[in-house]
Each structure stands twice: as structure tokens, then as C-alpha cells.
Structure 1
Amino acid sequence: MSGTGFTELRLDRVSRSFAGRDALAELTLTIRKGEFIALLGPSGCGKSTALNCLAGLLPLSRGSIWRDDVRLDTVPPERRGFGMVFQNYALFPHLSVRRNIAFGLQMRRVARAEARRRVDAAIRLVHLEEHAGKLPGQLSGGQQQRVAIARAVVLEPSLVLMDEPLSNLDAKLRLEMRTEIRRLHQTLGLTTVYVTHDQEEALSLADRLVVLRDGEVQQVGTPEEVHTAPVNRHVAAFMGYRNLLPLRAAGGAGAGIRVEGDGISLVGTPVGTVAPGTGVLAAARPEDLRIAADGVPAVVEVVEYQGREVAVEARTDAGTPLFLRSAERPAPGDRIHVTAAPDRLLVFPGEPG
């Protein structure tokens, strides 16, 4: 079944339990051919469990997986035609780069001339021509990850599964490899499912994000949708809305709603139904708070230089921390006023939890 194409891959209520507890619950998702899907969430949210169920490394507790009209969850992993890239590279230390990449083709008894052609092409794709004869131990971490990716794509898989492939690399290499993975995805027309806990990584790579928490899907959407319009407080918190303010809804204010509490009074955009007089959680990113002539009074505590901007941590008179980014350069001890545009302050209903 290796290399079998498909129009769509469907996960229908895919669940996996351990000791009677769901690590993944009712995951329903349709992946279109050529899509780059990122499974995103904190440790323990179920994203690697989902990937391993898709790969066939874990049997399902409930649900089913379909490639077009063919049921896949009953097919052994080696016959699903998927390529896998692991966090720890999983290279054979005694085999050269070329032989590592060729290994899967040999197992599939691909003709020698065809295997050589495909290995040469894969080595060129990941820019390792000068390193083809080296052993993995002679390569950098980024180069080893390139070998792992080449080993997966040389099989011409219908789907590539990547489990936190960049987490062992330093910051510079992560950026370089991110670009490389996206380039390979586009060049080869791959369908990719990618597991990560890094929001920036997911936003830059994926066509759609699947945000998970405690084994349950919280939101599925494009990077822009998830980044700018998180559907609940949990997605907002994970996607960088660092200012999470427990307040009360005071009433309507034009298209928005005024929220107040502990010396804070701001206007935000309700997400869902927000009733006046009820507890809410107001959420804003640091870049969406700004220093203004009037607003919430606060005292600057920490200023961090970040190039053209500084990151500022301030504290209100009631002790609530506020995190913002500013082109202005306040000093610790300065008294400032902080505000936010109503469309950049999201207001979620219910008591914070």
C-alpha cells in the first residue's frame, strides 16, 4: 500500500484510552490531500497519541480511520504507506547517510537502479550531497534531522507524520529547519501531519491547526483564525494571550462590552454570550496592550530590551500584573496608563477556570 494516493483522510471519533482514561477523545478530522496539519497543545494533551494512532503504532479504543473509502485502522502500520519523522531522529548509527536513507527502499525490495535514483534525489532535496558517505555521529543535529526527513520522503509516502521533529535543535537551527520542512512540503506536494507544542512553529508551517487540551479538540482552524479568534480561554492562553484578567461584565459599550474590576476598566469584544453582571475573563496579547494618556494605572516593574521594542511587566494598584510590548522605553518605577483597542481585548464568559 506504500505510496497510495488519496483524496482525503478521515479520522472518525478516534479515541485512545489508557487504564480506562481517555488520552484522546472523539477526534474527528478530515485531512485533504496536500494539506499541512499541525496538532498543537501542551504536554499531555493527546497530540502524540493522535499521531501514533494514525501511524498504527497504537490501536484505537474507539472510532475509525479512513483513506477515502478504505478503512485504515485495521491495516498494519508497515502497510499504511506513511512516512514517519521522530523527535530523536532514530537513525542507524553504523550506516552512512546514503544507507540510512536507502534502508526503507531495501526493505520494500525496490529495484536497485530505482532505489539509487530516489536516494540521490532525496539527498539533493535536503542539501546533503557533501555528507552522503558520513555516519550520523559525524553530523550536526540539523543535518541528522535532514537525514530523517529524507528517509521518510524517499518512500514517496501518501502521508508524512512528524512528531516534534525540531524540539532537540537550537533556536537558529529550528528556524532553518522550519523553512526547509515547509519548502519540502510545497515542492513534493506532501500531505503532512505535524505534532508540536510550539505555537510559532505551528503558525508558520501549517495550513490548519488542531488545538488539543486534555485529549479533546478545542479548535480547528487556519493559523489566522486560531491566532486572532481563539474560541475559548484555554486556546487563548495557549496562543499567547498572556494577559488573563478575571473581571466582571459591566454592560454594553457599542459593539463591545465594558469589563471592570480591581481598578481596571476596559472595553472588549465578547466571545460567546456575555451577560452584564457576570464574571468574565478578559484576554489580550502583550503586543495588544499599549501605553496611553489614560487607561488602567500601573507601575512599571520590569523592562526587557527586545530590539525595536521593549517587553514591559507592570502592576496595577490592586496587584494585577500586565504584560505589554512598547516602542516607548519606560523605566522601572515609572507610573503609566495601559489600554487596549476593543477588538484586541477578548472577553470570555463564566468564571475563570
Structure 2
Amino acid sequence: MTKAEPAVAPAARRPGSQLDELQLRGVSRAYGAHTALQPLELTVRGGEFVALLGPSGCGKTTALNCLAGLLPLTSGEILLDGKRIDTLPPEKRGFGMVFQNYALFPHLTVRANIAFGLKMRGVSRSETARRVEDVLRLVHLTEQAHKHPGRLSGGQQQRVAIARAIVMEPPLVLMDEPLSNLDAALRLEMRSEIRRIHQEFGLTTLYVTHDQEEALSLADRLVVLREGRVSQIGTPAELYEHPADAHVAAFMGYRNLLPLRVVSADADGALAEGRGIRLRGTPVGELDPHAGQSVTVAVRPEDLRIAEEGEEGVAEAVAEIVEYHGRVQHVEAVTRDGHRLHLKTGRHVRPGDPLSVAVDPERALFFPDLGQPAEEVTP
């Protein structure tokens, strides 16, 4: 997991590639009566990697397009080092863009694709050649420089797209779901590459994704959006350990979202039950649980475990689906009342096995009721 403060090697910084501060002040975007992005307040520091995270339609790409100048703002303003830029056209903002589909020129070589923007800006041949060779080395494509995009792998094409963006030495690089078209193994490899390039080139990056694992591994800070509104902003550790609400918890891997009713509450926590489940847990934030109150209880699969012999479980269930994940098995079990539970275990479990499951109270987080069945809440 990345640290809260960006680890940028000063020696790797390029002249003009950094900004001091980018501010989004009340930035919003509406389409008629529909508001796709509620007023967004966000400050990005130079050298920082910030990820916008959320499901389709949450407003994250709208925010990115507003920042890029591809969409006009309905209200608010954008300031780059104290100067307002939201009134400028996209080409005057000087940002680097990396899209899902790479948008490479198929008839140009890798070297020519990377050099294209510099030529359009009238940069001298010698300076263009120097910058292109530097970036080719950085993205490990020197030996592929003479090839056309059609002869490259998906990961190599993505590196060309990144190289083309950063060769302009932009104050900010915007990435919109850049790994969504790659297979799982290549996505993992490219995550490391993107973070390495970000650090070595001293970039400031704003990254859009719906993949919480991707966001956690890359970003210094996360901005979780839902229905156009910010749910929470914080470091990966803050959001992972202390989600602000049940929807953030869902994106941070709390796959078990249990709609229960509070039985009792005291200074040590609360007891809730429903649908064959009875457990103690920890209220989150300003929640002050009381008997009869509906709550959503969030538990990670790795925290829900098979009860030890003699230990009282929180639910009795039957294993229905068992997936082999190397040293652990991912088990989907069903309670007698039809509620599905997800847990991970190092024990050998087979479909049809009866299970007694348990969770430590500090690992079961109590949130206000979502107002919908847990099965409908998906990242």
C-alpha cells in the first residue's frame, strides 16, 4: 500500500513537469435537471497521485473531463498554482491525457507517436529527439521505438500512450480507466509500471478507476464518489481501515453488508441480529445505535471465519460455492434464512458442508441502514 505522502525522487523531476497546487472549488456539472457531479472541493498537491474511485455513473469521469476542459463547468472554478484555468480551452491547459483506448496513430512508429505533440508545438528537432529518447528509456520501449502500434502488446501500447502524455512535461497527467482493456496479469504489471513512471518522472497524476484494488495500490489519496457526490477523501489506509459509510466500505472490500436490527447497545459496542445472524460489532462515526434501530453491518471476507471448536458463532450456514485461491479458499455460504456470507479460510471446505461462522466485534462495523438489501450494494 502506498504511503500518505507521495514518494517522489527529487533527482527524477523534470523542469516544468510539476505544479505546486491544483484546486477544484465547487466544481459541478449538470445536464438539464440531472446533476452528474455535485460541487466538488479538492486540492491536489504537486507530485501527488490521486485516484477518483466509484461505480459507473458516479461522476468520476465527468470530473476528469471538466478538469481537462472537455466539458464546461456548470458552476465552480479550477485553479492551477493560483491562476484560474477553467475558462481556457483544453489545449491551453497543457495537461497530459491517457485514455482507455490509447488513441495511438496506427500509421506512425512508436517514436513518431511520442514525438507528435512536440512537433505540433514547434519544439526543435534536437529537443524533441532528446525528450523522446529520455521517455523511451523511462517506459522501457527503446527497442520497440521503430515499430508501429499494431505490432505491440496491449501493455506496450499503454506505455506508448503514457510516454506521449508525459513527453510534453505537463503539470498534470489525467488517466481515465487506462488499464480496463488489459487482461488481469497485464493490469497487475501495468499498475507497477504506472506508479514507477509517476515517481521517476515526478508527475502529478489524477487517475479514474472503478477498481478499488487498483486505486489502493497506486494512489496517495482516494476520492470515493457516489451519485455525483464525494463520500470520502483520504489515504488508502484511512479508507481501508475507517470507511465513512457502508458504500465506501463496499468499495474497500467489505463484501458482507448485512441488514440487521440492533438488539442492545452499550459503551463496548452494539448487538444486532436478523436473518439467522446475531453478532456484536463497533458503531462507526456519529452512529449512536439503540434497540430496534436498523443498521448495515460491514464485514470483510477475510475477517469472517469458521468458528473454533467450542466457540459460539454469529451464524450457522451451509457452504454453497467454494473457490480455490491458492493457500486459502473463498467460500460463499448461505444462512438458513437465505442470507449469503462471503469468507476466506485456510481450511478445506466442500460445497454442502455446514459451517458455524464467527467475527471479532472490532471487525464488524455498524453503519446507518442503507435502506436496501445488502445483495444490491455492489462496488
- TM-score range (shorter-chain normalised) is over 0.9
Opposite residue 275 of structure 1, the aligned amino acid is P
1:279 to 294, 299, 322: 294
- Provide the rounded CA distance (Å) in 1 between the counterparts of 2:323 and 2:266: 34
Name the SS of the counterpart of 2:282 in structure 1.
strand
Aligned length: 352
Contact 1:158-1:190 within 8 A present in 2 as well: yes
Deviation at 1:254, TM superposition (A): 4.8
**2:173 aligned partner:** 160
Q: Does 1:123 align with 2:123?
A: no
- Provide the rounded CA distance (Å) in 2 between the counterparts of 1:120 and 1:66: 32
Deviation at 1:331, TM superposition (A): 1.9
Between structures 1 and 2, the one with greater strand share: 1
- Provide the rounded CA distance (Å) in 1 between the counterparts of 2:299 and 2:348: 21
Contact 1:207-1:222 within 8 A present in 2 as well: yes
- Provide the rounded CA distance (Å) in 1 between the counterparts of 2:149 and 2:338: 53
- Provide the rounded CA distance (Å) in 2 between the counterparts of 1:137 and 1:4: 30
Contact 2:283-2:289 within 8 A present in 1 as well: no
1:211 to 216, 224, 236: 224
Deviation at 1:235, TM superposition (A): 1.2
Deviation at 1:263, TM superposition (A): 2.7
Q: How far does the alpha carbon of each residue in 1:166-196 deviate from its partner, in whole angstroms, 9 at most, with x for none? A: 1101111111111000001111111000001
Query: Alpha carbons of 1:4 and 1:127: their partners in 2 closer, same or farther (altered >3 Å)?
Result: closer
1:294 to 279, 291, 312: 312
Q: How far does the alpha carbon of each residue in 1:259-287 deviate from its partner, in whole angstroms, 9 at most, with x for none? A: 11233211111113232120111111111
Q: How far does the alpha carbon of each residue in 1:303-340 deviate from its partner, in whole angstroms, 9 at most, with x for none? A: 11111000111111222111100011122222221111
Q: Which structure 2 residues correspond to residues 218-229 of structure 1 after superposition, within 5 A?
A: 218-229=231-242
Opposite residue 246 of structure 1, the aligned amino acid is P
Q: Which structure 2 residues correspond to residues 49-198 of structure 1 after superposition, within 5 A?
A: 49-198=62-211
Deviation at 1:258, TM superposition (A): 1.0
Contact 2:78-2:86 within 8 A present in 1 as well: yes
Name the SS of the counterpart of 1:28 in structure 2.
strand
Q: How far does the alpha carbon of each residue in 1:156-175 deviate from its partner, in whole angstroms, 9 at most, with x for none? A: 11100001111101111111
Contact 2:50-2:221 within 8 A present in 1 as well: yes
Q: How far does the alpha carbon of each residue in 1:123-160 deviate from its partner, in whole angstroms, 9 at most, with x for none? A: 11111111111111111111111100000010111100
Q: Does 1:347 align with 2:360?
A: no
Contact 1:241-1:283 within 8 A present in 2 as well: yes
Contact 2:246-2:370 within 8 A present in 1 as well: no
Query: Alpha carbons of 1:351 and 1:238: their partners in 2 closer, same or farther (altered >3 Å)?
Result: closer
- Provide the rounded CA distance (Å) in 2 between the counterparts of 1:177 and 1:301: 35
**1:234 aligned partner:** 247
**1:325 aligned partner:** 344
Q: How far does the alpha carbon of each residue in 1:277-305 deviate from its partner, in whole angstroms, 9 at most, with x for none? A: 20111111111100013211111212111
Alignment gaps of 5+ in structure 2: 1-14, 373-379
Opposite residue 31 of structure 1, the aligned amino acid is V
- Provide the rounded CA distance (Å) in 2 between the counterparts of 1:298 and 1:3: 59
- Provide the rounded CA distance (Å) in 2 between the counterparts of 1:263 and 1:150: 55
2:213 to 188, 192, 200: 200
Identity %: 64
- Provide the rounded CA distance (Å) in 2 between the counterparts of 1:220 and 1:104: 34
Query: Alpha carbons of 1:86 and 1:351: their partners in 2 closer, same or farther (altered >3 Å)?
Result: closer
- Alpha-carbon RMSD across the aligned residues, in angstroms, is 1.4
- Provide the rounded CA distance (Å) in 1 between the counterparts of 2:353 and 2:226: 39
Deviation at 1:5, TM superposition (A): 4.3
- Provide the rounded CA distance (Å) in 2 between the counterparts of 1:129 and 1:201: 27
1:310 to 306, 314, 329: 329
- Provide the rounded CA distance (Å) in 1 between the counterparts of 2:253 and 2:369: 20
Name the SS of the counterpart of 2:302 in structure 1.
helix
- Provide the rounded CA distance (Å) in 2 between the counterparts of 1:6 and 1:218: 26
Q: How far does the alpha carbon of each residue in 1:104-132 deviate from its partner, in whole angstroms, 9 at most, with x for none? A: 10111111111100000011111111111
Alignment gaps of 5+ in structure 1: none
Contact 1:249-1:274 within 8 A present in 2 as well: no
